Amino acid sequence: MTGRGQARAGDLLELVRSGRATTRGALQQVTGLSRATVGQRLDRLFRAGWLREGAGGPVDSPLGGRPSITLEFDDEHAVVLAADLDTRHARAAVLSLTGEILAERSGVLLVEDGPDAVLGELGGWFAELLEKAGRPAESACGIGLAVPGPVDSETGRVVQPPMMPGWDGYDIRGRLSRAFGERTGAGAVPVLVDNDANLMAYGEQRAGYAHCSAFVLVKVSTGIGAGVVVGGSIFRGIDGGAGDIGHIRVGAEALCRCGSYGCLAAVASGGAVARRLAEAGVPAASGSDVRELLAAGHPEAVGLAREAGRRVGDVLATVVTLLNPGVLMIAGDLAGTPFLTGVRELLYQRALPRSTAHLDVVTSRLGERAGLVGAAALVVEYLYAPERVEERLSAMGV
């Protein structure tokens, strides 16, 4: 927030959204603004439809008097669109500004078909979902997209993604915005793109571990990736490559999809387990096939999943020692008991006791919706950041 006595309308909205100040009197106390100035800035937010009055709250004055009217962020004035792409399927949803899923669908969508076809299809999905949710296209304030590859957050473009042939450097933001407009007739909307593990971590941390200052999520599906949330923000590294643990070399001879030999993903991902099962005569082509076999208790799948967990746990011992997280979450197709057992076996064996003394190793709470929730939250935090609020209010003429 800007200095005391200089708070903008966006700063006031942030205070209300965070719950740090929810009455006019509290806003005056926190910001040092006069009653008239607070009123003027709140009026802009009311006219934009972003604030509403709630019930009476605590009395602001120590001398007593009538309860103050509370202020609330109006989460009904817009909706967010979100999609989570995997290599062979996708999930999309319309969400409220507070993360409630209003309409949802999933289906087969092959990332190898290329960005033009896949993003065009998603534009159609979004149009159908808005109709299902009973919301006009104009109510969508933004789109969040999770993809299975490293993303440069400044440009929204994937960077040399091993599992996304034909997507390297592609203008995802522009194509998805156009696809949405073509299918709905709506104007351009902002599109934010990030790695799927990052957005899963962001969604899970905000939903269930908001007070955890160092949170790590490892997604093990067709590939392997990790998302890291530090101090409530996604840690991406210099150009979006942070968390790409699937390409740490572990000394094996297996060829990885990135073209190198010995990557962790080549021996311990859902795709790697599926390949070994297929070699043994068990029908399996992807991490989702392995998940179904594990759910059915298939003995060979169980054994291979536990072995894969041990390999990942060996790598995670280094990750935990380096980051010292409070929560390590295992998610994705292999995130069941056999894999988790293998992770714990090697993690606690290889990591120093000091590194794991206050560590919780858990599985996903949000399940397949984690990426959607994280993508929607990313859009909301972007659009309602104080500096962007000022830009948007000015553009609206309020």
CA 163 to centroid of chain Cα atoms: 19
How are beta strands 140-147 and 89-96 bridged, if at all?
Answer: unpaired
Q: Is 377 helix (H, G, I), strand (E, B) or coil?
A: helix
Q: Exposed, middle or buried: residue 19 (CB in 10 Å: 0-12, 13-18, 19+)?
A: exposed
Torsion of CA 320, 161, 192, 127, to 10 degrees: -120
- Integer-rounded Cα Rg, in Å, for the chain is 23
Predicted confidence (pLDDT) per residue in 342-355, tens digit? 999 999 999 999 99
**pTM, two decimal places:** 0.92
pLDDT in tens, the chain (398 residues): 666 668 999 999 999 999 999 999 999 999 999 999 999 999 999 999 999 998 765 555 554 555 678 999 999 999 999 999 998 899 999 999 999 999 999 999 999 999 999 999 999 999 999 999 999 999 999 999 999 999 998 999 999 998 899 999 999 999 999 999 999 999 899 999 999 999 999 999 999 999 999 999 999 998 999 999 999 999 999 888 899 999 999 977 888 988 899 999 999 999 999 999 999 999 999 898 999 999 999 999 999 999 999 999 999 999 999 999 999 999 999 999 999 999 999 999 999 999 999 999 999 999 999 999 999 999 999 999 999 999 999 999 99
* The pair of three-digit structure tokens given for residue 197, joined into one six-digit string: 């593990």
Helix ranges restricted to H, 221-298: 264-268, 270-279, 287-295
Instruction: Tell me the three state secondary structure of residue 32.
Output: coil
Residue at token pair 């908001």: 210
Going from N- to C-terminal start, the domains of the chain cover 9-73, 79-197+372-396, 210-365
Sign of the CA dihedral 289, 291, 294, 299? positive
CATH superfamily of 210-365: ATPase, nucleotide binding domain (3.30.420.40)
Taking each helix axis from N to C end, the angle separating 270-279 and 299-323, rounded to the nearest 10 degrees, works out to 150
CATH number corresponding to 79-197+372-396: 3.30.420.40
Interhelix angle for 287-295 vs 299-323, to 10°?
A: 120
Other beta carbons within 10 angstroms of residue 160's beta carbon come to 12
184-203 as b/e: b if 16+ CB within 10 A: bebeebebbbbbbbbbbbbb
Q: Would you call 214 helix, strand, or coil by DSSP? A: strand
CATH number, span 9-73: 1.10.10.10
Q: Does this chain's domain 79-197+372-396 share its CATH topology with 210-365?
A: yes
